[in-house]
Protein backbone atom coordinates (compact mmCIF):
# COMPACT_ATOMS: atom_id res chain seq x y z
CA UNK A 1 0.00 0.00 0.00
CA UNK A 2 1.38 3.37 -1.05
CA UNK A 3 -0.16 6.76 -0.33
CA UNK A 4 0.79 10.38 -0.63
CA UNK A 5 0.55 12.62 2.43
CA UNK A 6 0.13 16.30 1.61
CA UNK A 7 -1.26 19.32 3.49
CA UNK A 8 -1.52 23.10 3.63
CA UNK A 9 -2.41 23.80 0.03
CA UNK A 10 -3.90 27.18 0.97
CA UNK A 11 -5.59 27.44 -2.41
CA UNK A 12 -6.56 31.00 -3.22
CA UNK A 13 -3.82 32.55 -1.12
CA UNK A 14 -2.67 36.07 -1.91
CA UNK A 15 0.92 36.96 -1.13
CA UNK A 16 1.66 40.70 -0.93
CA UNK A 17 -1.48 41.22 -3.06
CA UNK A 18 -0.33 38.76 -5.73
CA UNK A 19 -2.55 35.74 -6.45
CA UNK A 20 -0.63 32.48 -6.19
CA UNK A 21 -3.24 30.46 -8.09
CA UNK A 22 -1.01 29.81 -11.12
CA UNK A 23 1.87 28.83 -8.84
CA UNK A 24 -0.47 26.45 -7.02
CA UNK A 25 -1.73 24.93 -10.26
CA UNK A 26 1.89 24.40 -11.35
CA UNK A 27 2.83 22.29 -8.31
CA UNK A 28 -0.53 20.51 -8.20
CA UNK A 29 0.20 19.30 -11.75
CA UNK A 30 3.45 17.82 -10.37
CA UNK A 31 1.47 16.16 -7.59
CA UNK A 32 -0.86 14.61 -10.20
CA UNK A 33 2.19 13.23 -12.02
CA UNK A 34 3.52 11.69 -8.79
CA UNK A 35 0.14 10.08 -8.06
CA UNK A 36 0.14 8.52 -11.52
CA UNK A 37 3.81 7.53 -11.75
CA UNK A 38 4.08 6.13 -8.24
CA UNK A 39 0.75 4.31 -8.70
CA UNK A 40 -0.39 5.27 -5.20
CA UNK A 41 -3.48 3.78 -3.60
CA UNK A 42 -4.65 6.94 -1.79
CA UNK A 43 -4.02 10.65 -1.29
CA UNK A 44 -4.27 12.22 2.19
CA UNK A 45 -4.71 15.98 2.63
CA UNK A 46 -4.19 17.05 6.25
CA UNK A 47 -6.07 20.36 6.27
CA UNK A 48 -5.77 23.98 5.16
CA UNK A 49 -7.05 23.02 1.74
CA UNK A 50 -8.20 26.59 1.15
CA UNK A 51 -6.61 29.71 2.52
CA UNK A 52 -9.89 31.19 3.71
CA UNK A 53 -13.15 29.90 5.12
CA UNK A 54 -14.92 31.58 2.18
CA UNK A 55 -12.51 30.98 -0.70
CA UNK A 56 -12.68 32.88 -4.00
CA UNK A 57 -14.55 31.14 -6.83
CA UNK A 58 -11.32 30.60 -8.79
CA UNK A 59 -9.87 28.66 -5.83
CA UNK A 60 -12.98 26.46 -5.62
CA UNK A 61 -12.70 25.76 -9.36
CA UNK A 62 -9.04 24.76 -9.09
CA UNK A 63 -9.71 22.39 -6.18
CA UNK A 64 -12.69 20.89 -8.01
CA UNK A 65 -10.54 20.29 -11.08
CA UNK A 66 -7.67 18.68 -9.13
CA UNK A 67 -9.93 16.43 -7.04
CA UNK A 68 -11.77 15.31 -10.17
CA UNK A 69 -8.46 14.38 -11.81
CA UNK A 70 -7.32 12.37 -8.78
CA UNK A 71 -10.62 10.61 -7.99
CA UNK A 72 -12.13 10.17 -11.45
CA UNK A 73 -9.34 10.28 -14.06
CA UNK A 74 -6.73 8.47 -11.96
CA UNK A 75 -9.24 6.50 -9.86
CA UNK A 76 -7.37 7.19 -6.62
CA UNK A 77 -9.37 7.84 -3.42
CA UNK A 78 -8.74 11.02 -1.43
CA UNK A 79 -9.15 11.42 2.34
CA UNK A 80 -9.12 14.99 3.62
CA UNK A 81 -9.82 16.97 6.79
CA UNK A 82 -10.48 20.70 7.26
CA UNK A 83 -7.67 22.77 8.84
CA UNK A 84 -7.89 25.99 10.83
CA UNK A 85 -8.09 28.05 7.63
CA UNK A 86 -11.01 26.01 6.23
CA UNK A 87 -14.66 26.16 7.11
CA UNK A 88 -15.53 22.57 8.05
CA UNK A 89 -19.23 23.19 7.30
CA UNK A 90 -18.54 24.39 3.77
CA UNK A 91 -15.80 21.87 2.99
CA UNK A 92 -17.99 18.92 3.97
CA UNK A 93 -20.87 19.97 1.69
CA UNK A 94 -22.11 16.87 -0.16
CA UNK A 95 -19.61 14.65 1.64
CA UNK A 96 -22.01 11.70 2.04
CA UNK A 97 -22.55 11.69 -1.73
CA UNK A 98 -18.91 12.37 -2.59
CA UNK A 99 -17.84 9.28 -0.64
CA UNK A 100 -19.30 7.11 -3.42
CA UNK A 101 -16.92 8.78 -5.86
CA UNK A 102 -13.88 8.14 -3.67
CA UNK A 103 -13.70 11.57 -2.04
CA UNK A 104 -13.76 11.21 1.76
CA UNK A 105 -14.18 14.47 3.64
CA UNK A 106 -13.89 13.89 7.39
CA UNK A 107 -15.54 17.12 8.47
CA UNK A 108 -17.66 16.19 11.48
CA UNK A 109 -16.63 15.26 15.01
CA UNK A 110 -18.75 12.11 15.12
CA UNK A 111 -16.69 10.70 12.23
CA UNK A 112 -13.44 10.55 14.20
CA UNK A 113 -13.97 6.94 15.28
CA UNK A 114 -15.18 5.74 11.86
CA UNK A 115 -12.10 5.03 9.75
CA UNK A 116 -12.02 5.21 5.97
CA UNK A 117 -10.78 1.76 4.99
CA UNK A 118 -8.72 1.68 1.81
CA UNK A 119 -7.63 -1.63 0.36
CA UNK A 120 -4.65 -2.20 -1.91
CA UNK A 121 -3.51 -5.51 -3.44
CA UNK A 122 -1.17 -6.27 -0.52
CA UNK A 123 -2.99 -4.78 2.47
CA UNK A 124 -5.82 -2.64 3.81
CA UNK A 125 -5.28 0.44 5.94
CA UNK A 126 -7.60 2.30 8.34
CA UNK A 127 -7.49 6.07 7.91
CA UNK A 128 -8.82 8.03 10.91
CA UNK A 129 -9.20 11.80 10.59
CA UNK A 130 -9.76 14.60 13.08
CA UNK A 131 -11.35 17.74 11.64
CA UNK A 132 -9.58 20.82 13.02
CA UNK A 133 -11.01 21.69 16.42
CA UNK A 134 -10.38 23.85 19.45
CA UNK A 135 -11.04 22.98 23.13
CA UNK A 136 -14.40 24.77 23.03
CA UNK A 137 -15.76 22.70 20.14
CA UNK A 138 -14.62 19.44 21.80
CA UNK A 139 -16.18 20.55 25.08
CA UNK A 140 -19.49 21.34 23.39
CA UNK A 141 -19.65 18.31 21.15
CA UNK A 142 -18.74 15.66 23.73
CA UNK A 143 -19.92 17.47 26.90
CA UNK A 144 -16.53 16.87 28.42
CA UNK A 145 -14.45 19.12 30.66
CA UNK A 146 -11.35 20.01 28.62
CA UNK A 147 -9.82 23.49 28.72
CA UNK A 148 -6.60 23.31 26.69
CA UNK A 149 -5.73 22.18 23.18
CA UNK A 150 -3.58 19.44 24.69
CA UNK A 151 -6.40 18.11 26.90
CA UNK A 152 -8.89 18.18 24.02
CA UNK A 153 -6.40 16.42 21.78
CA UNK A 154 -5.64 13.73 24.37
CA UNK A 155 -9.38 13.16 24.85
CA UNK A 156 -10.01 12.68 21.11
CA UNK A 157 -6.97 10.43 20.72
CA UNK A 158 -8.17 8.22 23.55
CA UNK A 159 -11.47 7.66 21.71
CA UNK A 160 -9.74 6.98 18.39
CA UNK A 161 -7.16 4.67 19.96
CA UNK A 162 -10.03 2.57 21.34
CA UNK A 163 -11.50 2.32 17.81
CA UNK A 164 -8.19 1.22 16.23
CA UNK A 165 -8.03 -2.15 14.52
CA UNK A 166 -5.63 -4.86 15.62
CA UNK A 167 -5.91 -6.53 12.20
CA UNK A 168 -4.73 -3.76 9.86
CA UNK A 169 -2.37 -0.78 10.13
CA UNK A 170 -3.92 2.44 11.45
CA UNK A 171 -3.15 5.90 10.10
CA UNK A 172 -4.37 9.10 11.76
CA UNK A 173 -4.75 12.48 10.04
CA UNK A 174 -4.70 15.64 12.16
CA UNK A 175 -4.17 19.39 11.87
CA UNK A 176 -2.43 20.54 15.04
CA UNK A 177 0.73 22.03 16.50
CA UNK A 178 2.96 19.45 18.16
CA UNK A 179 4.95 20.92 21.02
CA UNK A 180 8.56 21.65 20.05
CA UNK A 181 8.04 21.45 16.28
CA UNK A 182 9.45 24.16 14.02
CA UNK A 183 7.12 26.94 12.91
CA UNK A 184 7.21 29.40 9.97
CA UNK A 185 5.84 32.92 9.47
CA UNK A 186 2.92 31.82 7.29
CA UNK A 187 1.02 29.73 9.84
CA UNK A 188 -1.87 31.43 11.60
CA UNK A 189 -1.55 30.71 15.36
CA UNK A 190 -4.29 28.39 16.63
CA UNK A 191 -4.26 30.15 19.97
CA UNK A 192 -2.27 33.00 21.45
CA UNK A 193 0.87 32.56 23.55
CA UNK A 194 1.73 28.95 22.76
CA UNK A 195 -1.50 27.51 24.25
CA UNK A 196 -2.07 25.68 20.95
CA UNK A 197 0.71 23.09 21.52
CA UNK A 198 -0.15 19.43 21.99
CA UNK A 199 1.96 16.45 23.02
CA UNK A 200 3.03 13.94 20.36
CA UNK A 201 2.67 11.05 22.80
CA UNK A 202 -0.99 10.06 22.19
CA UNK A 203 -0.06 9.69 18.48
CA UNK A 204 2.76 7.21 19.09
CA UNK A 205 0.55 4.08 19.04
CA UNK A 206 -0.55 4.68 15.43
CA UNK A 207 1.39 3.23 12.50
CA UNK A 208 1.64 6.57 10.73
CA UNK A 209 0.55 10.10 11.67
CA UNK A 210 -0.21 12.43 8.74
CA UNK A 211 -0.04 15.97 10.10
CA UNK A 212 -0.88 19.40 8.74
CA UNK A 213 -0.52 22.98 10.04
CA UNK A 214 3.25 23.50 10.21
CA UNK A 215 4.65 24.48 6.81
CA UNK A 216 8.12 22.99 7.12
CA UNK A 217 8.48 19.24 6.41
CA UNK A 218 9.59 17.51 9.61
CA UNK A 219 8.84 14.75 12.06
CA UNK A 220 8.33 15.30 15.79
CA UNK A 221 8.65 12.96 18.76
CA UNK A 222 8.97 9.81 16.65
CA UNK A 223 9.83 9.37 12.99
CA UNK A 224 6.37 8.18 11.99
CA UNK A 225 4.73 11.37 13.34
CA UNK A 226 5.21 13.68 10.38
CA UNK A 227 4.42 17.04 8.87
CA UNK A 228 4.76 16.86 5.07
CA UNK A 229 4.91 20.68 4.84
CA UNK A 230 3.00 23.13 2.67
CA UNK A 231 2.69 22.93 -1.10
CA UNK A 232 4.61 26.19 -1.63
CA UNK A 233 6.63 28.70 0.35
CA UNK A 234 4.08 31.07 1.82
CA UNK A 235 6.46 33.50 3.55
CA UNK A 236 10.02 34.71 3.00
CA UNK A 237 11.01 32.98 6.25
CA UNK A 238 10.58 29.72 4.31
CA UNK A 239 13.13 30.59 1.62
CA UNK A 240 15.40 27.64 2.49
CA UNK A 241 12.70 25.03 3.06
CA UNK A 242 12.42 22.12 0.65
CA UNK A 243 8.74 21.86 -0.20
CA UNK A 244 7.13 18.67 -1.38
CA UNK A 245 4.79 15.82 -0.47
CA UNK A 246 5.52 12.62 1.47
CA UNK A 247 5.23 9.19 -0.14
CA UNK A 248 4.36 6.60 2.51
CA UNK A 249 4.65 2.83 2.07
CA UNK A 250 2.94 0.40 4.40
CA UNK A 251 2.43 -3.34 4.59
CA UNK A 252 0.44 -5.59 6.91
CA UNK A 253 3.03 -5.14 9.66
CA UNK A 254 2.87 -1.32 9.53
CA UNK A 255 5.07 1.47 8.20
CA UNK A 256 7.76 0.47 5.69
CA UNK A 257 9.18 3.79 4.47
CA UNK A 258 8.61 7.51 3.94
CA UNK A 259 10.08 9.44 0.99
CA UNK A 260 10.07 13.19 0.37
CA UNK A 261 8.93 13.92 -3.19
CA UNK A 262 10.06 17.46 -4.09
CA UNK A 263 7.84 20.04 -5.78
CA UNK A 264 9.46 22.67 -8.03
CA UNK A 265 7.71 26.04 -7.90
CA UNK A 266 6.91 28.12 -10.97
CA UNK A 267 8.53 31.07 -9.19
CA UNK A 268 10.72 30.59 -6.14
CA UNK A 269 10.58 32.85 -3.08
CA UNK A 270 13.92 34.41 -2.17
CA UNK A 271 15.64 37.16 -0.22
CA UNK A 272 18.36 39.19 -1.97
CA UNK A 273 20.59 41.56 -0.05
CA UNK A 274 23.00 44.15 -1.43
CA UNK A 275 23.40 47.57 -3.04
CA UNK A 276 20.91 48.68 -5.67
CA UNK A 277 23.45 48.91 -8.49
CA UNK A 278 24.86 45.43 -7.87
CA UNK A 279 21.38 43.89 -7.60
CA UNK A 280 20.29 45.47 -10.88
CA UNK A 281 23.41 44.14 -12.65
CA UNK A 282 22.76 40.69 -11.20
CA UNK A 283 19.11 40.89 -12.24
CA UNK A 284 20.00 41.45 -15.88
CA UNK A 285 21.61 37.99 -16.09
CA UNK A 286 19.62 36.16 -13.42
CA UNK A 287 17.91 33.16 -15.08
CA UNK A 288 15.29 33.19 -12.31
CA UNK A 289 14.43 36.87 -12.47
CA UNK A 290 10.71 35.99 -12.24
CA UNK A 291 11.05 34.76 -8.64
CA UNK A 292 9.12 36.40 -5.81
CA UNK A 293 11.64 38.55 -4.00
CA UNK A 294 12.22 40.40 -0.81
CA UNK A 295 15.08 42.82 -1.44
CA UNK A 296 17.17 44.27 1.36
CA UNK A 297 19.01 47.36 0.14
CA UNK A 298 22.21 48.10 1.99
CA UNK A 299 22.75 51.50 0.28
CA UNK A 300 23.29 54.32 2.76
CA UNK A 301 22.20 57.20 0.52
CA UNK A 302 18.72 58.19 -0.58
CA UNK A 303 17.39 56.46 -3.69
CA UNK A 304 14.50 57.68 -5.76
CA UNK A 305 11.81 55.05 -6.28
CA UNK A 306 14.04 51.97 -5.94
CA UNK A 307 11.03 49.67 -6.39
CA UNK A 308 10.40 50.61 -10.03
CA UNK A 309 14.13 50.44 -10.81
CA UNK A 310 14.32 46.94 -9.36
CA UNK A 311 11.13 45.83 -11.09
CA UNK A 312 12.67 46.58 -14.49
CA UNK A 313 14.93 43.56 -13.92
CA UNK A 314 13.05 41.68 -11.20
CA UNK A 315 9.34 42.11 -12.05
CA UNK A 316 8.15 40.25 -8.93
CA UNK A 317 9.88 42.19 -6.17
CA UNK A 318 7.16 42.07 -3.53
CA UNK A 319 8.81 43.73 -0.59
CA UNK A 320 11.63 46.16 -0.04
CA UNK A 321 13.63 46.71 3.13
CA UNK A 322 16.21 49.45 3.58
CA UNK A 323 18.22 48.64 6.68
CA UNK A 324 21.03 50.94 5.48
CA UNK A 325 18.69 53.92 5.19
CA UNK A 326 17.25 53.28 8.64
CA UNK A 327 20.66 53.76 10.28
CA UNK A 328 21.27 56.97 8.34
CA UNK A 329 17.85 58.17 9.46
CA UNK A 330 18.78 57.65 13.08
CA UNK A 331 22.04 59.50 12.66
CA UNK A 332 20.21 62.47 11.21
CA UNK A 333 18.03 63.06 14.21
CA UNK A 334 19.49 66.44 15.10
CA UNK A 335 18.25 69.51 13.27
CA UNK A 336 21.69 70.39 11.92
CA UNK A 337 22.20 66.91 10.56
CA UNK A 338 18.70 66.96 9.10
CA UNK A 339 19.50 70.09 7.14
CA UNK A 340 22.63 68.50 5.69
CA UNK A 341 20.56 65.39 4.96
CA UNK A 342 18.16 67.34 2.77
CA UNK A 343 21.02 68.67 0.66
CA UNK A 344 22.52 65.21 0.28
CA UNK A 345 19.16 63.77 -0.59
CA UNK A 346 18.64 66.43 -3.23
CA UNK A 347 22.09 65.74 -4.70
CA UNK A 348 21.19 62.03 -4.92
CA UNK A 349 17.79 62.89 -6.39
CA UNK A 350 19.31 65.19 -9.03
CA UNK A 351 21.90 62.65 -10.02
CA UNK A 352 19.30 59.93 -10.42
CA UNK A 353 16.99 62.13 -12.50
CA UNK A 354 19.57 63.84 -14.76
CA UNK A 355 22.34 61.25 -14.74
CA UNK A 356 24.91 63.86 -13.67
CA UNK A 357 26.04 65.63 -10.54
CA UNK A 358 24.96 69.14 -9.58
CA UNK A 359 27.29 71.80 -10.92
CA UNK A 360 28.98 74.02 -8.34
CA UNK A 361 26.58 76.80 -9.21
CA UNK A 362 23.52 74.58 -8.91
CA UNK A 363 24.75 73.15 -5.62
CA UNK A 364 25.16 76.66 -4.26
CA UNK A 365 21.67 77.63 -5.40
CA UNK A 366 20.17 74.64 -3.64
CA UNK A 367 22.08 75.36 -0.44
CA UNK A 368 20.78 78.93 -0.51
CA UNK A 369 17.23 77.76 -1.18
CA UNK A 370 17.35 75.30 1.71
CA UNK A 371 18.79 77.92 4.04
CA UNK A 372 16.07 80.37 3.01
CA UNK A 373 13.41 77.73 3.65
CA UNK A 374 14.71 76.93 7.11
CA UNK A 375 15.01 80.60 7.96
CA UNK A 376 11.42 81.13 6.93
CA UNK A 377 10.28 78.17 9.00
CA UNK A 378 12.27 79.55 11.91
CA UNK A 379 10.56 82.94 11.51
CA UNK A 380 7.16 81.38 11.62
CA UNK A 381 8.06 79.31 14.67
MN1 LIG B 1 -1.47 26.07 7.06
* 61/31 Cα distance (integer angstroms): 17
pLDDT at 337 over 70: no
287 shares a domain with 212: no
**Mean pLDDT along residues 100-116:** 96
Question: What SS3 state is found at 183?
Answer: coil
Tens digit of each residue's pLDDT (9 = 90 or more) over 113-133: 999 999 999 999 999 999 999
For 255, the 3-state DSSP assignment is strand
Residues having C-beta closer than 5 Å to ion ligand 1: 8, 48
Between the CA of 8 and the centroid of ligand 1 the distance, in Å, is 5
What residues contact residue 136 under an 8 Å CB cut-off, 6+ apart?
Answer: none
- Residue numbers of the domain that contains 135: 2-262
Looking at 262, 288, 318, the residue that finishes a domain is 262
Q: Among residues 159, 170, 46, 169, which one has the least CA distance to residue 112?
A: 159
Q: State whether 359 and 223 are in the same domain.
A: no
The whole-chain average pLDDT of the chain stands at: 92
CA of 380 to the centre of ligand 1 (A): 56
Beta carbons within 10 angstroms of residue 237's beta carbon: 17
188 Cα: distance to centroid of ligand 1 (angstroms): 7
Ligand 1 centroid vs 303 CA: distance in angstroms? 37
Torsion 264-17-185-236 (CA) sign:
positive
Q: Is the same domain home to 336 and 244?
A: no
Q: Give residue 196 CA to ligand 1 midpoint distance, Å.
A: 14
Whether residue 153 is found in the same domain as residue 277 = no
Give the start-end residues of each E strand in the chain.
Answer: 2-6, 14-15, 18-19, 42-46, 78-81, 103-105, 116-119, 124-129, 170-175, 177-178, 197-198, 208-212, 218-220, 222-227, 244-251, 254-262, 269-274, 292-297, 317-321
| 312 and 363 housed in the same domain | yes
The reply to whether 227 and 277 lie within a common domain is no
CA of 11 from ligand 1 middle (Å) equals: 10
3-state secondary structure of 72: helix
**What's the CA-to-centroid distance between 320 and ligand 1, angstroms?**
25
Residue pLDDT, tens place only, 230-288: 999 999 999 999 999 999 999 999 999 999 999 999 999 999 999 999 999 999 999 99
Amino acid sequence: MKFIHTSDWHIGRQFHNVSLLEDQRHVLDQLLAYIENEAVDAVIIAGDIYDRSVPPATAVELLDEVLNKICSDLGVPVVLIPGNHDSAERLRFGSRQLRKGGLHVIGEMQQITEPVVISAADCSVNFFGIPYNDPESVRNHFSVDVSSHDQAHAYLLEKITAAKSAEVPNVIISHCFIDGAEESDSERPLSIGGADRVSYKPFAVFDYVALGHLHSPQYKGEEHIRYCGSLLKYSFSEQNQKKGVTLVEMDTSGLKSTTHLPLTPLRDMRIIEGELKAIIEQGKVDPHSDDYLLIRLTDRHAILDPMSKLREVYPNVLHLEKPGMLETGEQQMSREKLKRGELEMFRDFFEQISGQELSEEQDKAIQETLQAMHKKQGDVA
